Amino acid sequence: AAAAAAAALALLPARAAPPARAADAKAPPASERTTRNLLQSLREPAGDAEAACGDPSWFYTTEACEADQGGDDPWGSRRRKGPKYVPPPVSCQDANSFAWCDPAESFEARAKKLVAQMNWTELAAQVSCDIFGGVPSIERLRVNAYNYIRENNHGLLWNDICPVPTMFPQVISMAATFNRSLWRAAGKASARETRYNYALGKQNSVFTQTNFNIFLDPRWGRGQEVPGEDPYLNTEYAKTWVAGVQTPEGPRGVPLAGTSCKHFTAYSLEGAGGWPYPTLPNRHNFDAIITAQDLADTHFPMYMACAEAGAMGMMTAYNAVNGVPMAANGHLTKGVARGKWGFNGTVVTDCGAVEDLWLRHKYSANASASAWDALKGGTDIECGSTVKDNAVEAMAPLLRSAVEASFAVRFRLGEFNPPQSGQDEPEMYDQTAHARLAYEAAVQGTVLLKNTEGFLPLAHGARIALMGPHRHATWEALGNYAAYKNNKNWSDSPNVVTPTQGLQQCGAISTVPVNPGAAPFVCSPTDEQVPGFHNPAQQPDADVVVLMVGVYCQDEKLQDVDRRPEDSGTCQSGCLESEGCDRPGLLLPKGQRALISRAAAWSIPVVLAVLSGGPLDLSEFDAMDNVKSILWMGYPGQAAGTALARMLMGFDSPSGRLTHSFYKNEYLDAVSMGTMNVRPDSATAYPGRTYRFVDPKWVVYNFGHGLTYQTWRYQWLGSSAPSSRRSGTFEGCKLRFRVDLASSGRARGAASASVLLFLAPPATACAGAPQKLLTDFARVHGASSQVSFSLGRSDFELADEDGAFALQAGEWLPPRHRG
C-alpha cells in the first residue's frame, strides 16, 4: 500500500503556479506611497531576464480568494464575501451623544465617565476576554464587543477572509534584516490591514499582540516568534514595530492599530508535556529564577522600550518570576512597568493564566483567590473567564480600575470618536506594495551561511533538481501565528508561493525521478522520519541539487498512508518546533540528514535551503565539500518560493544576519532549559547563554554571521570630535563614528547589506560583564555607502549584580581587538 501510494503521489501534478496579477485599477492611497517610496529606494529593475523570473509583487487576489471554497475557522471569523460585511455600530454619533463622546477631553477622563455607568457584573464581564469573541457588548451604553487577543506577529492572524492578510516572514527572519525602515513599514502595513478589516466589520478590534521575548534557549519552540537573543536588537525591533503599527493618521491622529507587547517576562520555555499536565515542568507552572542583573539587562529592556514607545498593551507570561506568577506579579507590572517605565496601556494575561494561579502554580488557594490575586497584581484583562466566574461586588473598585485602563486604550484607538463628515467606506490598502515589502523582507532576512568559492548565484540557465520534504512548502514557510486562505485544508493555502512554484516561474527546475518502491516520509513525536519519497533511485539529470530541508515534518500529502486525513495535524504539530513543544535537539531529522548525505555523494553540487525558526547544528554539512552553499531562510513568508528562486539565480542577494547563535548540539548537554541564568558559572561548568557570554567553542555560526554575493570592504573613517551635552539627567559626550563601505560581486540585483557595531567592555568592568555586546546597526543599499554610528553614555553602561546600571570607565574596543 505504501509503495502504491508513493507511486500515485509521484504522478500528481504540482500545485498550479500563482496566477498572473491583474494591473492595479487605480493609484494607491496617498498614505501608502511612503511604502512604495521605500521599496523604490531598495530595488532597481534589472532587465528582461529578471522580469521573467517570478513576480516579487505577486499576491493572492481578492477575486481569486472569493472564488475559492472557504473552510471552518476555529479562530471565530465568519467568512462572507465582498461588501456583505457589516461595519461595527458607531457608539458616538456626535460629541453630545454621551458624556464620553467629546474628543476634546482626555482619553482617561472619557474612559472614567463611560466606566462609571457600568455595574459590577458588567465590569467583571469587561475584564474576562474570550479568545474567540472578546469581551461582550453593553447595548444600553452602545459599547461594542471587543477582542484584546488579536495576533499580529508578522501579519494579521485572521483566517479565511478575503483578501488574505499579507504574511511577512516570521519575526526571527524579519529581525535578521537588521533594517529598521523595513520593520516600521511592515508594522504599518499590517496595521493598515487590521484597520481595514475592522472598518468593514470583519473583526471587532484593532488591538494586536506581538512577541518580543528573548530567545534564551535554542530549543525553545516559540523562538521563531521573537527577534533574537540580543536585548538591544529586541529593543530596537520592539520600539520600531510599535511605532509602525501605531502610526497616527487622519485629522485626529488616531493610530492605525494598537500593539500589546508579549510576554512580560522571562518566557523561554514550553516544557515537558505542556498543558494540561500540571505535574510536569512547563510554561503553565514554571518558576523562572532570575538574578537582578539578568532581569535588568536581558529580560527588561524590550518591555521598557515598549512602554516608552507608547505601546497600548502588555501581555504577561504564563510563568512565574522568582516565585510570583506574572499574572499576579504586581511588583513587576505595577511597580516596574507602570511605576518606573511609565507604561499607561492595559495589562492582559495569556489565555488561562489566571486559572493557572491555583490549578498549576499552586500560588492561589482556589479559583476565587486567583481572581483576587490577578486583579491585585495588576491584571486589567484576563484571557479566560476565572475573574468573571468568581466576581463578587466587593471586587468593584479593582474591576473599575482595570476596565478604565482598557477603555482608555479603546478611546486612544478612536472607537468612541464621532464620525467625521465625508467619512465613508475605507479605501482598500495597496496589496501590491505590501506584497513587495514581504518579498524584500524574505530576501533581506535570508542568511547565507556558506558559499564555497562564490558558488551562488547560479549561472543563467542552470538546471535545478529541487528535492527535500519542503519543496512544496506552504504553511511550513510561514511559521506559526500565520493566516491561511483555507483553514479546513491549511497545508495547501494558495496565498503562499512554494519553492517548486518559484523555480517553475524561472524555468530552472528539472523533474526528479522518485523511487517507486519507497514509502512516504512518516513522522512521530520524536525526530524519526523514514526516508523514502525523497530518496531518488539515481542521481538526477541536473546541474545542481537544491534540497529544501527544515525542522517541520513532511507536508500533509506525504503523510503516513494509514493515518486518517483529519489526523494529519498530529503529524505536523508533533514535530519539533511549535507553541507548547520545545525541540529535543538541534539536529535535522534523521531522514533529512540521510538524504543530504546521499545527495552530497553524487557528482553534482548541492545547495541546502533550510526552513527553521530556531538554530540548527549544521556543522556536519558545512564540512561537506560537495555541499557548496547553505541558505537559512527562517520562515520567509508568502513570497518564499519567489525569493528562493530569485536569490538562486542572482537577481537578488541574500543579505540577512543571524539574530541567534547556531550552537553545536553538544551545547545542550551543558545547559538545562530550566536554568535561566544568562551568565556562565565556572564553578559548575555552566557555559551561560547567548553570544554575549558563551564561549565560541560551543558555536557553529555566530550571532551576526551572514554572507552576501558581494565582497564588502569596510574602512573606518575615524570619529568626530565629541560633542558635550549637559542637562538635568545627562552629562557626557556623543561619539560619532563613520564607516565607508564598497562592494563588488556577481549578483545581478542591487547590493544590500547590514553593518553591525559591537564593543567589548573594559577588562575592569563590573562583575558579570558580557564579553561583547551589540551597540548599533544599519542597513545599507547600493555598491557604496557611508554609515554613521553615534554612541552616548548609555552605550557604556552595564548592569551590576543588583541590577543597577553604571558607567564603566576604561578602554572599550571592537571585540577582535580584545585579548
Return the HEC string of 731-792.
EEEEEEEEEEEEEEECCCCCCEEEEEEEEECCCCCCCCCCCCEEEEEEEEECCEEEEEEEEC
- Average of per-residue pLDDT across 521-537: 46
What's the order of all strands across the beta sheet hosting 324-325? 287-288, 320-321, 324-325
pLDDT band of residue 43 (cuts 50, 70, 90) is very low
Contact 483, 490 (CB under 8 A): no
Residue 92: all three cell numbers together: 458616538
Contact 462, 527 (CB under 8 A): no
- Average of per-residue pLDDT across 414-418: 95
Residue 692: pLDDT above 90? yes
158 three-state secondary structure: coil
C-alpha to C-alpha distances, 584 to 217, 527, 530, 616, nearest whole angstrom: 12, 8, 18, 12
DSSP conformational letter for 688: -
User: What's the rounded Cα separation, in Å, for the pair 61 and 544?
Assistant: 34
222 three-state secondary structure: coil
Q: Dmax of the chain from CA atoms? A: 79
pLDDT band of residue 160 (cuts 50, 70, 90) is confident
- Average of per-residue pLDDT across 59-70: 77
424 three-state secondary structure: coil
- Proportion of the chain above pLDDT 70, given as a percent: 80
- Highest mean pLDDT, choosing among 76-80, 415-419, 440-444, 502-506: 440-444
- Which residues 6+ apart lie within 8 Å of 523 measured at CB? 529, 553, 554, 559, 571, 574, 575, 589
User: What's the rounded Cα separation, in Å, for the pair 99 and 236?
Assistant: 40
Q: Which residue has the higher pLDDT, 467 or 367?
A: 367
pLDDT score of 47: 52
Instruction: Taking the CA atoms of 589, 509, 613 and 604 in sequence, report the sign of the dihedral they define.
Output: positive
Closest CA to 801 of 770, 772, 767, 778: 767
- Average of per-residue pLDDT across 251-262: 96
Closest CA to 194 of 172, 210, 173, 174: 210
Residues facing residue 753 across a β-bridge: 780
pLDDT band of residue 542 (cuts 50, 70, 90) is very high
Residue 179: pLDDT above 70? yes
632 three-state secondary structure: strand
Instruction: Taking the CA atoms of 287, 293, 298 and 301 in sequence, report the sign of the dihedral they define.
Output: positive
Residues facing residue 779 across a β-bridge: 754
Q: Is the peptide bond before 361 cis (omega within 30 degrees of 0)?
A: no
User: What's the rounded Cα separation, in Å, for the pair 745 and 708?
Assistant: 9
Residue 157: all three cell numbers together: 492572524
160 three-state secondary structure: coil
pLDDT score of 85: 60
Residue 204: pLDDT above 70? yes
Q: Which residue has the higher pLDDT, 267 or 524?
A: 267
- Average of per-residue pLDDT across 263-291: 80
Contact 694, 687 (CB under 8 A): yes
Contact 631, 475 (CB under 8 A): no
- Average of per-residue pLDDT across 163-179: 97
Q: Is the peptide bond before 762 cis (omega within 30 degrees of 0)?
A: no
pTM over 0.85: yes
Q: Which residue has the higher pLDDT, 524 or 305?
A: 305
Residue 705: pLDDT above 80? yes
Residue 260: pLDDT above 80? yes
Instruction: Taking the CA atoms of 747, 752, 753 and 755 in sequence, report the sign of the dihedral they define.
Output: positive
pLDDT score of 651: 92
Residue 75: pLDDT above 60? no
- Average of per-residue pLDDT across 166-190: 98
pLDDT band of residue 425 (cuts 50, 70, 90) is low
Enumerate domains of the chain plus CATH numbers.
Answer: 33-71+432-669 (3.40.50.1700), 121-408 (3.20.20.300), 710-745+751-817 (2.60.40.10)
Contact 233, 659 (CB under 8 A): yes
pLDDT score of 90: 87
pLDDT band of residue 42 (cuts 50, 70, 90) is very low
Closest CA to 91 of 204, 244, 225, 229: 204
CB atoms within 10 A of CB 766: 17
Site of grid cell 558579570: 768
Closest CA to 658 of 614, 705, 694: 705
User: What's the rounded Cα separation, in Å, for the pair 283 and 295?
Assistant: 18
CB atoms within 10 A of CB 289: 15
Residue 41: pLDDT above 50? no
What one-letter code names the amino acid at 758? F
pLDDT band of residue 640 (cuts 50, 70, 90) is very high
Residue 275: pLDDT above 90? no
pLDDT score of 621: 98
Residue 196: pLDDT above 60? yes
Residue 108: pLDDT above 70? yes
Contact 397, 127 (CB under 8 A): no
What one-letter code names the amino acid at 178? F
Residue 40: pLDDT above 60? no
- Proportion of the chain above pLDDT 90, given as a percent: 64
Site of grid cell 531529522: 589
pLDDT band of residue 577 (cuts 50, 70, 90) is confident
By mean pLDDT, which of 408-417, 614-623, 715-724, 764-773 is the weakest?
715-724
pLDDT score of 721: 61
User: What's the rounded Cα separation, in Å, for the pair 770 and 533?
Assistant: 47
Please tell me the number of Cα atoms within 13 Å of 28 on its side-chain side: 16
- Average of per-residue pLDDT across 638-657: 96
Task: Report the relative pairing of strands 346-349 and 313-316 from DSSP bridges.
Answer: parallel
User: What's the rounded Cα separation, in Å, for the pair 159 and 141?
Assistant: 31
Closest CA to 445 of 214, 645, 658: 658
Residue 644: pLDDT above 80? yes
Residue 120: pLDDT above 80? yes
Residue 707: pLDDT above 80? yes
312-358: per-residue pLDDT in tens?
A: 999 999 999 999 999 999 999 999 999 999 999 999 999 999 999 99
Residues facing residue 583 across a β-bridge: none
Residues 517-538 as b or e (16 or more Cβ within 10 Å = b): ebbbbbbeeebebbbbbbbbee
742 three-state secondary structure: strand
Sequence-distant contacts of 131-139: CB under 8 A, at least 24 apart? 131/351, 131/383, 132/74, 132/75, 132/76, 133/76, 133/204, 134/204, 134/205, 135/381
Hey, what's the torsion of the CAs at 190, 191, 197, 200, to 10 degrees? Answer: -150
Residue 559: all three cell numbers together: 503523510
Closest CA to 333 of 306, 351, 359: 306
As a whole number, the mean pLDDT across the chain is 84
Residue 33: pLDDT above 60? no
Task: Report the relative pairing of strands 313-316 and 258-264 from DSSP bridges.
Answer: parallel
User: What's the rounded Cα separation, in Å, for the pair 77 and 560?
Assistant: 31
Residue 166: pLDDT above 60? yes
User: What's the rounded Cα separation, in Å, for the pair 252 and 329?
Assistant: 36
- Highest mean pLDDT, choosing among 131-135, 207-211, 556-560, 710-714: 207-211
Residue 89: pLDDT above 90? no
Q: For the chain, give me the number of helices (H) and strands (E)?
A: 22, 28
pLDDT score of 421: 65
- Average of per-residue pLDDT across 619-623: 98
Residue 515: pLDDT above 80? no
By mean pLDDT, which of 86-90, 158-162, 179-183 is the weakest?
86-90
* DSSP per-residue string spanning 441-493: HHHHT-EEEEEGGG-PSPPTT--EEEESTTTT-SGGGT-SS---S-GGGGGG-
Residue 22: pLDDT above 60? no
Q: What radius of gyration, in Å, describes the C-alpha atoms of the chain?
A: 26
Closest CA to 629 of 506, 438, 464: 464
Q: Residue 666: is it exposed, middle or buried by C-beta count within 10 angstroms (0-12/13-18/19+)?
A: exposed
Closest CA to 352 of 330, 378, 374, 337: 374
Contact 736, 788 (CB under 8 A): yes
DSSP conformational letter for 240: H
User: What's the rounded Cα separation, in Å, for the pair 328 and 651?
Assistant: 53
Closest CA to 783 of 747, 813, 744, 746: 744
Site of grid cell 528539472: 510
